Amino acid sequence: MKLATWNVNSLKVRLPHVIDWLAQHQPEILCVQETKLTDENFPVTELAAAGYQAIFTGQKTYNGVAILSKYPGIETVTAIPGLVDEQKRVVAATYGDVRVISVYVPNGEAVGSEKYQYKLAWLPALVHWLKQELERYPKLAVMGDFNIAPEDRDVHDPVLWQGSVLCSQPERDVFADLLNIGLSDSFRLFTQPEKSYTWWDYRMMAFRLNRGLRIDHILLSEQLARSCLSCQIDKAPRKLERPSDHAPVMAELNVIT
DNA sequence: ATGGTAGAGGATCTA
């Protein structure tokens, strides 16, 4: 079973890239973030023609998440239970006995800003919910744009970024909480190339210079982590014309669906 | 020179 996640930065603009990528890699599941589409505008027909169904929750202009899959999902949830939040940032569904969550963590803008406060309030609600999900679903995969670079090796220039948003200690502490409740960073289950990143700013030739951060993650429960065979970042779509600023991350699991 | 680019929407906001 192949699982993947990709912040597409507008599914409307990126739909051709997404459909090509699905055809090439044939994942059972692709979590997407930043669809920037209301639900009535979601490209259900085009994805169905590509062999994928979708569960989604979106809004105009900002945010929006989805799970694309080859098989139908059940037990759909489109918000963190108990959290009052206008922004569409999570969607969950169950495929066989695998629970999948697509998540778009707030960016946080800058340390000390209102958006940073929102991020630091939002994240504990996510952790609390995931703890409950882990109790209910032993096979849990949480995938998406976490907007957190967990360690200095996930940052092209740790000195430049030290203490900045995406790298600050309070954010990294929450990421550690995610690991402490029983999730594994699937990318770090394996030996990886140095300077592996998933996001590069559009500006300043950041991609060409590989000035990136690893902020998109596939987190797996213990049961799924045990069956994980590989996890890799696919930089190829970032090299296309009009790319997303994020690259997809894909994991292969020894699980039959 | 606190810059630069992309998306949405139609002036800025967000990233």
pTM above 0.95, yes or no: yes
What the block records as the tokens of A44 is: 């259900």
The Cα A207–Cα A197 span in angstroms is 10
User: What's the confidence (pLDDT) of residue A107?
Assistant: 98
With beta carbons less than 8 A apart as the criterion, state whether A50 and A19 touch. Answer: yes
Distance between CA atoms of residues A18 and A10, nearest Å: 11
A61 touches strand B (CB under 7 A): yes
Task: Say what the pLDDT of residue A1 is.
Answer: 97
Q: Which positions of A are annotated as active-site residues?
A: 104, 145
What are the residues facing A2 on neighbouring strands? A252
Each residue's pLDDT tens digit, A178-235: 999 999 999 999 999 999 999 999 999 999 999 999 999 999 999 999 999 999 999 9
Q: Over the stretch A37-67, which tens digit does the pLDDT of each residue have?
A: 999 999 999 999 999 999 999 999 999 999 9
Confidence of residue A257 (pLDDT cuts 50, 70, 90): confident
Strand B contact at CB of residue A41, distance < 7 A? no
Predicted confidence (pLDDT) at residue A255 exceeds the cutoff of 90 = no
Q: What is the pLDDT of residue A227?
A: 98
pLDDT value, residue A256: 80
Instruction: Give chain B positions with protein CB within 7 A.
Output: 4-9, 14-15
